[in-house]
Structure 1
Amino acid sequence: MIREKLIAKINQIFVEQFELEPAELTPEKRIFEDFALDSLDIVDLVTGLQRQFGISLRDNKDVLAIRTLQDVYDLCEKLVAENPDIKAKLSD
């Protein structure tokens, strides 16, 4: 249940910030190639994720490895799992 809520919130960021259609948001989609995002868009994405979940990605080297939407899901899931407060909010 938490994963589904997490994915829905991440997808909402992509829809709102990058004007993508929800149907386009499948895990295997490549951030740069399929969505045509650039490095400045990634800064916006990171900012949106930090705001949405209250997680810090500032010095997180895993951000550099993001290539697909699945990578975003996995990274956020890992960070949320490490933070009981955020995990509890998603459980509600």
Structure 2
Amino acid sequence: MTPPTQTEGAEAVLARVSDLLCERLGLLPDEITREARLREDLGMDSLDLVELVTILEEHLGTPVDDDAAQRLTTVGEVVAHVVDTRGPGEPR
């Protein structure tokens, strides 16, 4: 899967994150909403969270440091991190 393009907004990023979580972690599409909590609602454990960081870095081109990874608790926060991390002129 290619990284999101420069013109893609938060909704497109949410769709990409949702697709990747379904594909890589076996989640159901209707489970993945902006408000869904990664641990409590989606049942992600620490290994799943590591996989999420890998997904963000490898498939969406979004770096995630340890501090950022600790702050990501909902799907909406993951989407916001992807959108906010992109600098002007960087591939999306």
**Structure 1: 5+ residue runs without aligned partners?**
88-92
Within 5 Å, give how 1:70-89 maps onto structure 2: 70-80=76-86, 82=87, 84-87=89-92
- Distance, in Å, in 1 between the alignment partners of 2:88 and 2:62 is 8
1:14-72 CA distances to partner (integer Å, 9 max, x unpaired)? 11111111111111111001111111111111001111122221x35222111111111
Greater helix share, 1 or 2?
A: 1
TM-score by length of 2: 0.81
- Structure 2 counterpart SS, 1:40: helix
TM-score by length of 1: 0.81
Which residue, 25, 33, 52 being the options, matches 1:26? 33
Within 5 Å, give how 1:4-83 maps onto structure 2: 4-57=11-64, 59-80=65-86, 82=87
Opposite residue 52 of structure 2, the aligned amino acid is L
Say if 1:6 and 1:73 are closer, same or farther in 2 by CA, change over 3 A.
same
- Distance, in Å, in 1 between the alignment partners of 2:89 and 2:9 is 12
Cα distance, 1:2 vs structure 2: 2.1
| Count of aligned pairs between the two proteins | 85
